[in-house]
Amino acid sequence: MSWAIRRRALFAASAMVPMTVQRAFAQAWPSQNIKLVVPFAPGGTTDIVARLVASGLQERLGVVVVVENRAGAGATIGSEAVARSAPDGYTMVMSNIASHAISPALYGHRVRYDPVRDFAHAALVVTNPSVWVANPNAGLRTLADVAAKARAPGGLDVATSGVGSSNHMMVVEMSRLLGVELNHIPFRGAGPAMQAVIAGQVPVMSDSLPSSVAHIRQGSVVPLGMASAQRHQAFPDIPTFREQGFDVASESWFGLSFPAGTPAVIVERMNRETRAVLADPDIRARFVELGGASGDLSVDGYTDFVRREVAAWAPLVRASGASVD
């Protein structure tokens, strides 16, 4: 019997445990540290969001929430590790658009988890738009400059946080709109990718806004365009892609998910505690500073959200022709 089948059997069995027993189990939870796996390298948006919400959860739960970075394979390595973990409420993953919506379609049979069935999705934490930035010495200031460089001999290198990220899909879509293949340079997280851009090793990066915010404000990178429906309230001087003639909009999302089979009362409590953290004015203000919008969904709401994202992205990934080496 495969691990996935065993986990679904355990999930079914846990559903038959009397609610009084589940409540008693939840009352003793948490009694030890909770591990939050970030399936990207340190320094990127997923990592930034995870550490912010972990700090708030620690105060409310009274235990340490340990952030562990396990990057690789479009965020699927860390996510698979959590899917295989004991469903005892002490291991979560920072579920996101890459690990749970794009990479399962992009990597196909190499992804050994189902993004819906193999997780107990607890809470949506934040959503945010994508932004393209460039090294100040690259001679790029607008998306028109990007188009001109991409069509010149040698083309244009564009860094992302990794294969399977929403920002990778942005590169694929821009290649389609430009009619020329952009040179996708994937890294093991937004942090390493950004450092390569700042160092001048790669001229441009397709990124999620939170991991670019500090660098934009410091002037270490130049913003080229925001992939939002309208200009962002925190960055009114950055034009959207659509304003510059490219009909592209992209929004990343990040949440908390346990392995399937985790007692429902624990999942529900994590949802309540997370929403309480996100309602804190300081946390909410911090997310606004980072260009994100705090989530506020129930357990069922977040589960349905993930299910819709999977259904929406799978055909788009296939239609894009994007593949992994």
Please give the angle made by the CA atoms of 167, 171 and 174, to the nearest 5 degrees. 130
1 pLDDT above the threshold of 80: no
| 3-class SS of residue 274 | helix
Of 190, 173, 83, residue with least CA distance to 128: 190
**DSSP string of 25-61?**
HHHT--SS-EEEEESS-TTSHHHHHHHHHHHHHHHHH
| Kind and range of the H or E run holding 176 | helix 166-178
pTM: 0.82
Q: How far apart are CA 306 and CA 6, in angstroms?
A: 23
* Residue 313 structure tokens: 């992205």
Q: Which domains does the chain have, with CATH numbers?
A: 3-127+251-320 (3.40.190.150), 129-244 (3.40.190.10)
321 pLDDT above the threshold of 90: no
The answer to whether residues 39 and 75 touch, using CB atoms and an 8 Å cutoff, is: yes
The string of pLDDT tens digits covering residues 268-308 is 999 999 999 999 999 999 998 888 889 999 999 999 999 99
The string of pLDDT tens digits covering residues 205-258 is 999 999 999 999 999 999 999 999 889 888 999 999 999 999 988 889 999 999
